[in-house]
Structure 1
Amino acid sequence: MGRPKQFDPDVAVERAMDVFWRKGYAATTPQDLVDEIGIGKGSLYNTFGSKHALFERALARYRDSQAAWLAELLDHPGSAKDRLRGALVALVDLDLSDRDRRGCMAVNTAAELASSDAGTADIVRNMFARTESAFRATVEEGQRAGEIDGGRDGEAVAAWLLATVIGMRVMAKTAEDATQLRRVVDAAMEAL
C-alpha cells in the first residue's frame, strides 16, 4: 500500500500554473515546479505523469478560470457596448496591475508552442473559441437592442474583438502605462 498524498493536487496545479505562466513552458524546469509546489520529483511524476501533462492541466485551469471571469464580466447589467468596453478595460487593468507582466498564458502558449504541440494548441484554440463565443453573444444582444449595427456579421465582429484582445494582451507586456491600450479600447468601441 502506497503512502497517502501529502499535498493537494489542485493546489499543485494552481502553483504550477503560476510558474509556467511566468516563465513559459520551455524555461520551466522540473526543479522549478518542485520548488514552487513543495513536493518531491517522485510525487510530481507519480501524480501528474510528466511536466507536459502538468502543463496541460495548468493551461486548462487557466482557460477555465479566464473563460468564467470573462463570462461574468459580460453578464453584468447595462448595454452590450458598455459591457464589452468594461471587459476590455478590465483586461487592460488586469495585465497592467501584474508586476511580472505575464500577459495572457494562452497567448503566450500559442506563441511558444502552438506550431509544435497539438495538445496545447487545442487547449488554446478552445479558450479562444470560448472567448469569441462570449463576445459574439454580447455583440448579437447589442444588435438586437439596436446599439450595434445589425447588418454586420456578429461572428466576424466577435473574431475581430478576440484579435483585438490578443493584440492588447501582447502590448500590455511592454506598455509603460494604460494610455495606448485605452486608445485601442476607445477605437474598438467606436468601430462597433
Structure 2
Amino acid sequence: MEEFWSHGYGGTSPAQLAAATGVAKGSLYNAFTSKRELFNRCLDLYHQQIAEVAQQLLDHPGSTRECLRNALKSVVDSDLAQPQRRGCLIGNTAVELAGEDAEVAQKLRRMQEESTGWFAARIQGGQRDGDVSRDRDPRALAEHLANTLAGLRVMAMTHEAPALYRIIDTALSVL
C-alpha cells in the first residue's frame, strides 16, 4: 500500500512491490493474480483504515462544528507530519486512473459515498442535538465537507497549516 501511495499505480513496478513485501516476484504473483488485484486489496485496506480513524474522530463529544473542525484538522496535521506529503491514496488514484478505468472509478465512488455518509451522519446528529440548523440539507453539507477534505489533502502537499486551517474554518461556516 505504501508503495502505491508513494508512487501511484502506474509508477509502482513489480520489483518495487517485491522489495516492499520481502516476497519474490513469482511468489507475489502466486499470492495475488495480478498487480491490479494487489492494488485493489491495498485500496480496500486504506479505506478500512480511514473508516476506523473517521469513526474515532467523528464520535468525539462536543458540538458538530467543533468535532468536524478537529477531525479535519487532525487529517491535515497528519498529512503535514509525513516525511513525504502524498495526499490521499483514494484521491490520487481518482486523478491517475478514474478517467480511464470505469471499474476503478466505480470502486472509488463507492468509497467516497461512504465517507460522505460519515459526515452526513454527524451533521444529522448535530441537527438532532440543535447545534446544526435543521433547515440545512445534511447531504449537501456532507458533500461540501467531503469535497473540502479532498482539496485539503491535495493542498497539504504544498501548503502549510495556517492556510489549511483557514480553509477548514471557512468550510465550516456553512453549518
TM normalised by structure 1 equals: 0.88
Partner of 2:166: 183
Q: Secondary structure at the match of 2:9?
A: coil
> Unmatched 5+ residue regions in structure 1?
1-16
* Contact 1:143/1:150, CA 8 A, preserved across alignment: yes
Q: Which runs of at least 4 in structure 1 moved beyond 4 Å after TM superposition?
A: none
Q: Secondary structure at the match of 1:84?
A: helix
The separation in 1 between residues aligned to 2:171 and 2:140, in whole angstroms, is 14
Deviation for aligned residue 1:32: 0.5
Residue 122 (structure 2) pairs with residue 138 (structure 1): yes
Query: For 1:72-83, what aligned pairs fall within 5 Å after superposition?
Result: 72-83=56-67
Deviation for aligned residue 1:104: 0.4
Q: Secondary structure at the match of 1:191?
A: coil
Partner of 2:78: 94
* Contact 1:60/1:123, CA 8 A, preserved across alignment: no
The separation in 2 between residues aligned to 1:147 and 1:131, in whole angstroms, is 21
Higher alpha-carbon Rg: 1
Residue 107 (structure 2) pairs with residue 151 (structure 1): no
Task: Give % identity.
Answer: 45
Q: Which amino acid aligns with 1:106?
A: I
| CA RMSD, 1 decimal | 1.0
Residue 22 (structure 2) pairs with residue 34 (structure 1): no
Deviation for aligned residue 1:97: 0.7
* Contact 1:103/1:173, CA 8 A, preserved across alignment: yes
The separation in 1 between residues aligned to 2:116 and 2:106, in whole angstroms, is 15
TM normalised by structure 2 equals: 0.96
- 1:135-170: CA deviations, max 9, x gaps? 001111111222111101111110111001011111
Q: Which amino acid aligns with 1:34?
A: A
The separation in 2 between residues aligned to 1:100 and 1:106, in whole angstroms, is 17
- 1:65-121: CA deviations, max 9, x gaps? 101211111012222221111111011101111111011000000000011223322
The separation in 2 between residues aligned to 1:119 and 1:72, in whole angstroms, is 30
The separation in 2 between residues aligned to 1:123 and 1:102, in whole angstroms, is 21
* Contact 1:67/1:127, CA 8 A, preserved across alignment: no
The separation in 2 between residues aligned to 1:122 and 1:65, in whole angstroms, is 20
Residue 69 (structure 2) pairs with residue 69 (structure 1): no
